[in-house]
A = this chain, B = another copy of it.
Amino acid sequence: MDQRTPVAPPSDILLRRLSHYAELSPAEIGLLEAMPLASQDVGVGTELIVEGRILDTPRLLVSGWACRFRMLPDGRRQIFDFILPGDMYGLCLRPQAIALTTAITLTQAQIADASALWVAIKDRADEFPGLSDACHSTASLEEAYLLNQLVRVGRQTAYERTAHLILEIHDRLSAVGLADGATIPMPLTQETIADALGLSVVHLNRTLQLLRRDHLIESRAGFVKLLQPEQLADVADFHPPVISQKRKSG
């Protein structure tokens, strides 16, 4: 029944994630592990961020999926980005910033407080250079995803957009160890995906069928498998975001 990640301390997924972006010292790893292990369960549709409120309670999405979005008066919805397991939200590098969008959970989810991490990189950045770097990297990534989203929605065809989004999600889930090779969980309804891609549900459905018929993806009950990642990346013009200069050369 419960399809959430098998029991693992909240710090685990975050540790896995941040390690990708910087070398973490034992002290830093210690800090992550000392972060409150208690995580809270919330149901579908829970508001994680409320537009207009001050962003002062950094949190970690331990499991489950969420999204940031905006509604138009007549019910049209645009999803800006997805918040995936291991992502932090409700924080902003700018002090006293207020939330520009609302965010809600799209599945059951577990959330944990991330204030400790926040304090560490904010007030004691020099003690925790790795954490600081890694958090800055995740902020850059978020911006990169937003730009990708804009290109998808603004200039790509339905076919390209869909492929591109799938690749991006695969990339992100891989980074936190939630991809099983080319197979990723896909708990989103087609309606949700459509609202992210700026398409109608019906058209998205047909586009997915096309991708399947072209043997680029395979999808069954809550999962998507990338059959030919290279071709897919080719049609979508997908490039994993580059957010830092290579530090090691030669």
| A positions within 8 Å CB-CB of B | 52, 54, 70, 72-73, 76-78, 80, 93-98, 100-101, 136, 139-140, 143-144, 146-147, 149-151, 153-156, 197-198, 237, 241-245
Contact = CB atoms under 8 A, between A and B. Distances in A.
B80 A150 contact: yes
21 contacts: A72-B155, A72-B237, A73-B237, A78-B150, A78-B155, A94-B136, A96-B136, A97-B136, A97-B243, A98-B140, A98-B243, A98-B245, A100-B143, A100-B144, A100-B241, A100-B243, A149-B150, A153-B153, A153-B198, A154-B154, A154-B197
Contact of A98 (B78, B95, B149, B242): B242
A147 B93 contact: no
A151 B242 contact: no
Q: Which 5 pairs from chain A and chain B are nearest by CB?
A: A154-B198, A153-B154, A94-B136, A78-B154, A78-B155
Contacts of A73: 237
Contacts of A241: 100
A155 B77 contact: yes
Contacts of A147: 70, 80, 100-101, 146
Nearest to A243: B98
Contacts of A149: 150
A98 B244 CA distance: 6
Contacts of A151: 70, 72, 78
A88 to B, nearest CB: 14
A98 B143 CA distance: 12
Nearest to A151: B78
A189 to B, nearest CB: 18
Nearest to A199: B154
A140 B245 contact: no
Contact of A93 (B52, B94, B98, B245): B94
Contacts of A136: 94-97
Contacts of A78: 150-151, 154-155
B100 A140 contact: yes
